[in-house]
Amino acid sequence: MLRTVSECETRIVSAPQAADVAQAPDPASSGGSEGDIRQLLNGRGAAISALALGSIVGGVLEAGFLITVTRSAFAITDGDKRFGLVANIEVPVTLAIIVVVSVLLLGLGRWGRRSEPA
């Protein structure tokens, strides 16, 4: 434990200076980043494409689900029995609620099965 001001000053002065500390190389200056990425992706193009496609499809389905829920809620609050979904397609509120609840229960059922140990 340091007890005096002079001991503190001695410790501070003897600490390594910023110029003495080895710095990590800059990845941008290494020139091998493109080659590293190609090596990483080598032979995985189909898997990456499938992942990208799955993400896009999942995003579109989620957006459709949220649109259906929101428009159903607006129809219920307005007292309407039907609402326009997409491109002048009208859907009964009861059918939309049945579909939304079914999708929700299927999703929760799948999530519950995945959490069980194998």
pLDDT at residue 23 greater than cutoff 70? no
pLDDT at residue 62 greater than cutoff 60? yes
Cα–Cα distance for residue pair 105/110, rounded to 1 Å: 9
The residues, ordered by sequence, that sit 6+ positions from 73 with a Cβ below 8 Å of its Cβ are none
**pLDDT mean across residues, the chain:** 78
Task: Quote the number of domains for the chain.
Answer: 1
Q: What is the DSSP letter of 80?
A: -
- As to burial, measured by CB atoms within 10 angstroms (0-12 exposed, 13-18 middle, 19+ buried), residue 58 is exposed
- In-domain check, residue 108: yes
Determine contact, residues 85/99, Cβ cutoff 8 Å: no
- In-domain check, residue 22: no
Cβ–Cβ contacts within 10 Å for residue 75, how many? 19
- In-domain check, residue 20: no
Determine contact, residues 96/80, Cβ cutoff 8 Å: no
- What pTM did the predictor assign? 0.56
pLDDT at residue 18 greater than cutoff 70? no
- In-domain check, residue 112: yes
Out of 14-23, 45-54, 84-93, least confident range: 14-23
Q: Tokens at residue 91, please?
A: 């859907």
Structural domain boundaries enclosing 80? 52-118
